[in-house]
């Protein structure tokens, strides 16, 4: 725990805060104790999930703009409920796109109830499953088609499991041995060291390839491997230039393979149901929670839990790849 604390009313609140370049601390913050809105709920955080790519690159490795508070997903237990909230009550455990903070306060419309018996540290992965679920509900490829996943970091690993759960034949590749082994150990059967661009048995067999590494070579290889007229969906953010490939090579592959290259931007879907729009983000998150609860997607051995007070160690371990797991979950039940 930090040495200092701040009391607001009768509450003490804390948040993981990026205070400088490669410097994370658990610091006191002011909790909003104003009367809760009619359609709001608030409560104490149980678990939050670190999005390693986004949080490392946009905040932890930044050179300026501090302090930064961040976060991607949270599970919290409700202790205050607005008068117009009909479907939630005190004591309920809910999912939210919340920050790394000991308390959450959200509109009830932005929450989903966690299925009974599903632990907070597992339920929080619904958020990251949702990244590739946008592709799952928008692709023209249908099961039992073969799908190629390029990159087995957290997003790619969960993409592979999402598509397996939906009935596709999944092939996944990554040059990092421990990622390949983790995939094999957790039910992903067709795991390769690299994109099978020279494999005559797989060449042209994929109507869909999902690029989850952010590497230009993987994008080019995937475009050369898909079936003619197939899709390559770019989910990973290309945070930095990793290759000096000529643009002509990709141009040639797109033209001669009749490839459809598109963004995997999850936010192309609306947050909530809309008329004449058949899919939305919160239905995806609700589906992810069901799949986690049913065991259709298993995340039990892919993450490490940290006390938020150890945030600096957590981010350093992610940055320097000192962990044999794909994800970090902050356990807020340890913060008093």
What's the confidence (pLDDT) of residue 324? 87
Residue 78 to residue 110: CA distance in whole angstroms: 13
* Phi, psi values for residue 18, rounded to 5°: -85, 110
Is the pLDDT reported for residue 165 higher than 90? yes
The residue assigned the tokens 């892919």 is 302
Quick one: pLDDT at residue 335? 87
Q: Which helix (H) or strand (E) holds 29?
A: strand 23-29
| pLDDT the model gives residue 221 | 97
In this predicted structure, the answer to whether residue 68 has a pLDDT above a threshold of 60 is yes
Of 106-110, 203-207, 238-242, least confident by mean pLDDT is 238-242
When the pLDDT of each residue in the chain is averaged and rounded to a whole number, the result is 94
CA dihedral sign of residues 269, 274, 280, 281: positive
| Residue with token string 């797989």 | 202
What band does 1 get if pLDDT is binned at 50, 70 and 90? very low
Domains of the chain and any CATH numbers: 7-125+299-334 (3.90.180.10), 136-268 (3.40.50.720)
Determine the Cα–Cα distance for residues 63 and 48; give it in Å rounded to an integer. Answer: 25
Whether 91 has a pLDDT exceeding 70, the answer reads yes
Q: What is the mean pLDDT of residues 129-150?
A: 98
Q: Is the pLDDT of residue 18 over 70?
A: yes
Confidence of residue 277 (pLDDT cuts 50, 70, 90): confident
**Weakest mean pLDDT among 33-37, 93-97, 232-236, 317-321:** 33-37
């Amino acid at each position: 725990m930090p040495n200092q604390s701040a009391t607001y009313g009768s509450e003490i609140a804390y948040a993981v805060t990026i205070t400088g370049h490669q410097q994370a601390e658990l610091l006191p913050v002011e909790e909003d104790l104003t009367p809760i809105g009619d359609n709001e709920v608030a409560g104490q955080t149980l678990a939050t999930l670190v999005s390693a790519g986004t949080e490392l690159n946009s905040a932890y490795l930044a050179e300026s703009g501090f302090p930064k508070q961040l976060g991607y997903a949270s599970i919290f237990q409700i202790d205050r409920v607005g008068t117009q909230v009909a479907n939630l009550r005190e004591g309920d455990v809910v999912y939210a796109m919340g920050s790394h903070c000991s308390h959450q306060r959200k509109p009830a419309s932005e929450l989903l109830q966690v299925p009974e018996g599903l632990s907070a540290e597992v339920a929080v992965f619904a958020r990251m499953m949702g990244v590739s679920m946008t592709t799952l509900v928008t692709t023209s490829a249908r099961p039992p088609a073969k799908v190629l996943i390029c990159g087995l970091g957290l997003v790619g690993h969960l993409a592979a499991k999402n598509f397996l759960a939906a009935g596709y034949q999944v092939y996944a590749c990554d040059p990092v041995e421990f990622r390949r082994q983790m995939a094999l150990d957790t039910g992903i059967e067709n795991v390769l060291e690299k994109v099978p661009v020279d494999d005559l048995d797989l060449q042209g067999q994929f109507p869909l390839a999902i690029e989850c590494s952010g590497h230009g070579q993987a994008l080019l290889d995937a475009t050369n491997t898909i079936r003619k007229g197939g899709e390559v969906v770019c989910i990973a953010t290309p945070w930095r230039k990793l290759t000096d490939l000529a643009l002509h090579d990709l141009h040639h592959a797109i033209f001669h393979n009749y490839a459809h290259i598109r963004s995997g931007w999850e936010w192309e879907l609306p947050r909530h149901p809309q008329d004449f729009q058949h899919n939305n983000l919160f239905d995806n998150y609700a589906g992810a929670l069901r799949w986690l609860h049913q065991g259709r997607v298993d995340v039990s051995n892919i993450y490490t839990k940290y006390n938020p007070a150890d945030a600096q160690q957590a981010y350093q371990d992610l940055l320097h790849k000192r962990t044999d797991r794909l994800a970090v979950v902050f356990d807020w039940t340890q913060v008093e």
